Structure 1
Amino acid sequence: MKICLRPVNNNDVSFLLDLRRKTMHKYSLEISEENDSSDLSRVKYSFDDIQIVRYREKDVGMIKMSKDYSENHWYIYQFQVDPEFQGIGIGKAILNDICKSAVSVNATIGLSVFKNNPAISLYRGLGFKDVASSKYEFEMEFNA
């Protein structure tokens, strides 16, 4: 499977907004009102930490992750794969690579996920554990 990541650029904003609507609205609308302004602010938050997921020469997703090397802790803020490309192993392949990299430097990886998001099973299957929970989300962590 040919999957790669590329740096984000300003021309990707419309792709990222569309991706967010396709992937997150069904989960977040149960919790809060989503609109164009909130979508744009979420896309622009830590914009330079975004990498675009490519599959077969097509942009199919994004991952926004920061790496704090002083604390040896990485955090995935957003991870989205276009529903048209879900279920074929793209997300699992990207996360596997990230987890292997974290193990190689003894880093932990954190993320939060809506409790109604089926990606929870993907994260748990890769070794992420629940470390906290709120009314709507689980905080999860992968320990190297």
Structure 2
Amino acid sequence: MKAEISFKRAEFSDRPFLLALRKSSMDKHLHAAGLKLNDEQHLQRIDEFFEESFLIKYNNKNIGLVKLGMLTDRIHIRQLQIMPEFHNAGIGSKVVRLIKKKAVERTLPVTLNVLLENPAKRLYEREGFITEGQTELEYQMRWHLPQ
């Protein structure tokens, strides 16, 4: 059977999963950036732009989150998190390609920020994102529409 990726709008009842996901997928990178967040701080970040949150499902199992800001001048990937046991399985690439496809349909570029120490930066570079800026915490990256 072929593995299927699907999306489902996040609901308030998904917050425990989203907290576990955020801690397992982000704590190491946040710590490397000098940030140690408690559960309440993680939940504040989860609740920010909650209406833009979609669960990533793999064979109908919750394995991640994508939070997309659909802005007038671009699509902004606010968050993309996948459970560590599903890293390096091509799922992140598939999700990013689907976002790029949506961007082409809407003739919009895609932007995102990624922590300096997060190896996900390599995924974004493979998918054609370029670094346009950097703060003390993260890179600002952009994918431009093909000419």
Query: TM-score, normalised to structure 1's length?
Result: 0.95
Moved over 2 A (4+): none
Q: Write the mapping of 1:127-142 to structure 2, written as runs, cut at 5 A.
A: 127-142=128-143
**Partner SS state of residue 127, structure 1:** coil
Q: Which residue number in structure 2 is paired with residue 3 of structure 1?
A: 5
Q: Which residue number in structure 2 is paired with residue 50 of structure 1?
A: 53
The structural deviation recorded for 1:33 is 2.0
**Partner SS state of residue 15, structure 2:** helix
Letter in 1 for 2:54: Q
**Partner SS state of residue 117, structure 2:** coil
Q: Which residue number in structure 1 is paired with residue 15 of structure 2?
A: 13
Letter in 2 for 1:78: Q
**Partner SS state of residue 22, structure 2:** helix
Separation in structure 2 between the aligned mates of residue 46 and residue 5 of structure 1, nearest angstrom: 17
Separation in structure 2 between the aligned mates of residue 8 and residue 136 of structure 1, nearest angstrom: 27
Separation in structure 2 between the aligned mates of residue 126 and residue 33 of structure 1, nearest angstrom: 30
Q: Which residue number in structure 1 is paired with residue 109 of structure 2?
A: 108
User: Percent of aligned positions with the same letter in both sequences?
Assistant: 30
Q: Which residue number in structure 1 is paired with residue 27 of structure 2?
A: 25
Separation in structure 1 between the aligned mates of residue 35 and residue 84 of structure 2, nearest angstrom: 21
Separation in structure 1 between the aligned mates of residue 50 and residue 105 of structure 2, nearest angstrom: 26
Separation in structure 1 between the aligned mates of residue 36 and residue 54 of structure 2, nearest angstrom: 26
Letter in 1 for 2:66: I
The structural deviation recorded for 1:105 is 2.0
The structural deviation recorded for 1:125 is 0.5
| Residue segments in structure 2 that go unaligned for 5+ positions in a row | none
| Residue segments in structure 1 that go unaligned for 5+ positions in a row | none
The structural deviation recorded for 1:142 is 0.7
* Larger mean Cα displacement after TM superposition, 13-22 or 102-111: 102-111
The structural deviation recorded for 1:81 is 0.3
**Partner SS state of residue 117, structure 1:** coil
Separation in structure 2 between the aligned mates of residue 109 and residue 38 of structure 1, nearest angstrom: 27
